[in-house]
Amino acid sequence: MTLEEALLQAKELIVAGKLSDAGRMLEPLKSEYPSSPDVARLWCSLAMRTGRAADVPAYAAEIYAQVQGDFHKAHWAHVWGTASFLSLDLPAAHAHFSVALNHLLVLAKSGKIPPHKERAKLDQADANIFASGKAEQLLWSTCAQLARSNIPAFPFAGTLLGLVRNGCLLDFDKDLDIAVRMESWGACCAALEQAGWVRAPMRIEYANYRDYVHAELGITLDVCGLQARGKQLVGGFALPGYADEYQRVSVFPELDLIQRKTDFGEVWYPRQPEKILTAFYGDWRTPNPHWDTVVSACNLENFTLLVRCYAYHRLIQSWLLGDLAKAWCYAHQIALKDPDDALALRSRQWMERAMMRLNREIPAWPENQRPKRVYTRMVADLFHQGHVNFLREARALGTHLTVCVVSDERVVENKGKWPVMNQAERAAVVAACRYVDAVMIETPPSVTPELMQHHGFDIYTFACASEQERRDKYRLCESLPPEMIRELTYTPGISTTDLAMRIRGDGRRPDKP
């Protein structure tokens, strides 16, 4: 058997999960061809999959020293850094990742970009398991089983995002996410294993994060433990006994759970899921295909060395594969978290030049800052300058403005007469205003905390033409806390009534004789 044939067979064994068999093939090859980058690549990959990451750095250093060219140097510096990262030698990992990035920058400055290699796609059946509904059934059956064991586990992260935003799991998701308070952590993990979930080996074992695989469906379940800290909950990746730079802490507001009925029985579910999603994603209503939970989360307490090394690892990995768009997103996120990271800034700059030269689109990264959503109600009959002034000021209160255009019947109740324009006509005009992001036509007459929470509104605003109107409008929102209410200035000198009088008159402008 030639070396090429032996390496191909070893690679097939690794892909098939037969790691012991692959090891028995690769060990003699490593002894026979100690300087072969091809042998070293497979051997290092296998070692990092089988808990032997500590054996990799010395070998990777030897290969790095002998290979030529910035691409190969970058690859082996990345292997060296990844092994150091998995061995929790974070300073060494950061140093080697920095070396890899500098090699890639040399390539970029010379106009060279690694060829784009597509990653292997999932089998069609696996790819559709979330879209088919099987994954969601598994989620609810698992949560119901935990609930019957008095374990309050609930949908979390991307799983919760899909349920709230789309009404179902995200069809492109890769795993299920649940969370549980640390008081129930041990019981939860034990119950999952009794239910047939198999604990998956993790390259770094965290105290509050664990992966399981469903033996029949092959779906991965991520379990996150949440710890109370004052009026907050903290999650992420915890490594007890290590310094703060070795932790990844994500912070959530305190939350209440309620029971929710499913076809599999009652499950636990957040009473206010939007609070979790806003903490996690910021503007969770805007999809972001480039999101990476470890790096992108808006509620990271600190951009620690652990998170930075992970981000560097993924940035270099994508760049080596020629996926400039994905690599750019990681460089961009690092710069967002740490604007003083000169290496990330330079990487982003040179990738932008390369993408422009290659006529590739530079990704649009959403703001992901927490939106400030403003809500108002109005008649908007005979739309005029006063309406425009009000909507401009209302939109300036936040990042998103929703207008409820009230029904014709409500106008009659409040003003004793029908509007000139019907509701559909008024809604169409308001929707065309540049300051309006969304229009609603069906809402309760009163503005309650429940209404504001359901739609994610932060501020309710209005303007008053008279003292009586002021009393009426404050009565409509009397259950809201004062910080959610904003009264704006009414534009004098123009109103729908004035316009109607002009139309009924002789057509002369009021400012002309």
**Same domain flag for 74 and 7:** yes
- Answer whether residue 324 is part of any domain: no
**Ranges of H-type helices in 16-133:** 19-32, 37-49, 56-66, 70-86, 90-109, 124-127
Q: What percent of the chain has pLDDT over 90?
A: 66
Query: Most confidently modeled of 84-98, 192-206, 482-496?
Result: 84-98
Q: What is the pLDDT of residue 108?
A: 94
Nearest alpha-carbon partner for 136 in 223, 221, 48, 215? 221
Nearest alpha-carbon partner for 206 in 86, 300, 97? 86
Other beta carbons within 10 Å of 316: 26
**Same domain flag for 210 and 131:** yes
Nearest alpha-carbon partner for 248 in 81, 55, 85, 80? 85
For the CA atoms of 415, 417, 421, 422, the dihedral, rounded to the nearest 10 degrees, stands at 90
Q: What is the pLDDT of residue 102?
A: 97
pLDDT tens, residue by residue, 369-411: 566 889 999 998 888 888 999 999 999 898 889 999 999 898 8
pLDDT tens, residue by residue, 69-122: 999 999 999 999 999 999 999 999 999 999 999 999 999 999 999 988 766 544
pLDDT band at 490 (very low <50, low <70, confident <90, very high): confident
Q: What is the pLDDT of residue 400?
A: 87
For residue 300, what is the DSSP state?
Answer: B
Other beta carbons within 10 Å of 166: 11
Contact, 257 vs 152, CB < 8 A?
A: yes
- Answer whether residue 153 is part of any domain: yes
HEC letters along 271-283:
CCHHHHHHHHHCC
- Answer whether residue 133 is part of any domain: yes
* Coil vs helix vs strand at 154: strand
Q: What is the pLDDT of residue 454?
A: 81
- Answer whether residue 45 is part of any domain: yes
- Answer whether residue 87 is part of any domain: yes
- Answer whether residue 341 is part of any domain: no
pLDDT band at 125 (very low <50, low <70, confident <90, very high): very low
**Same domain flag for 104 and 153:** no
Residue where a domain stops, chosen among 250, 281, 312? 281
Q: What is the mean pLDDT of the chain?
A: 90
**Same domain flag for 134 and 75:** no
What's the whole-number mean pLDDT along residues 154-182? 93
What's the whole-number mean pLDDT along residues 437-456? 87
- Answer whether residue 416 is part of any domain: yes
In angstroms, the Cα distances linking 266 to 135, 155, 269 are 18, 13, 10
Q: What is the pLDDT of residue 63?
A: 96
Adjacent-strand bridge partners of 259: 268
Residue where a domain stops, chosen among 281, 300, 335? 281
CA 356 centroid distance within chain: 27
Q: What is the pLDDT of residue 495?
A: 74
**Same domain flag for 60 and 150:** no
Residue where a domain stops, chosen among 109, 139, 161? 109
**Same domain flag for 273 and 382:** no
CA–CA–CA angle 224, 227, 230 (5° rounding): 150
- Residue showing tokens 């910021």: 282
- Answer whether residue 483 is part of any domain: yes
Q: What is the pLDDT of residue 136?
A: 94
SS3 content of the chain, % helix, strand, coil (to 5): 50, 15, 35
**Same domain flag for 398 and 447:** yes
**Same domain flag for 19 and 136:** no
Residue 218 belongs to a domain with what CATH number? Answer: 3.30.460.40
Q: What is the pLDDT of residue 126?
A: 47
What's the whole-number mean pLDDT along residues 125-129? 59
Which domain does 23 fall in, by range?
3-109
Residue 16 has pLDDT above 70, yes or no: yes
- Residue showing tokens 């790095």: 64
pLDDT band at 263 (very low <50, low <70, confident <90, very high): very high
pLDDT band at 155 (very low <50, low <70, confident <90, very high): very high
Contacts of 433 (CB under 8 A, 6+ apart): 383, 387, 388, 391
pLDDT band at 41 (very low <50, low <70, confident <90, very high): very high
- Kindly calculate the radius of gyration of the chain based on its CA atoms and give it in whole angstroms: 29
pLDDT tens, residue by residue, 309-331: 999 999 999 999 999 999 999 99
Q: What is the pLDDT of residue 369?
A: 56
**Same domain flag for 15 and 79:** yes
Q: What is the pLDDT of residue 123?
A: 43
Of 21-35, 182-196, 494-508, the poorest mean pLDDT is in: 494-508
**Same domain flag for 17 and 68:** yes
Residue 18 belongs to a domain with what CATH number? Answer: 1.25.40.10
**Same domain flag for 82 and 225:** no
Q: What is the pLDDT of residue 370?
A: 62
Which parts of 187-230 are beta strand (E)? 197-199, 209-214, 220-229
251 or 116, which is more confident: 251
Count of structural domains, the chain: 3
Angle between helices 19-32 and 3-15 (to 10 degrees): 150
pLDDT tens, residue by residue, 457-477: 899 999 998 898 899 999 999
For the entire predicted model, the pTM comes to 0.71
First vs last Cα of the chain: how many Å apart? 105
Residue 489 belongs to a domain with what CATH number? Answer: 3.40.50.620
**Same domain flag for 37 and 132:** no
Q: What is the pLDDT of residue 124?
A: 43
Q: What is the pLDDT of residue 371?
A: 67
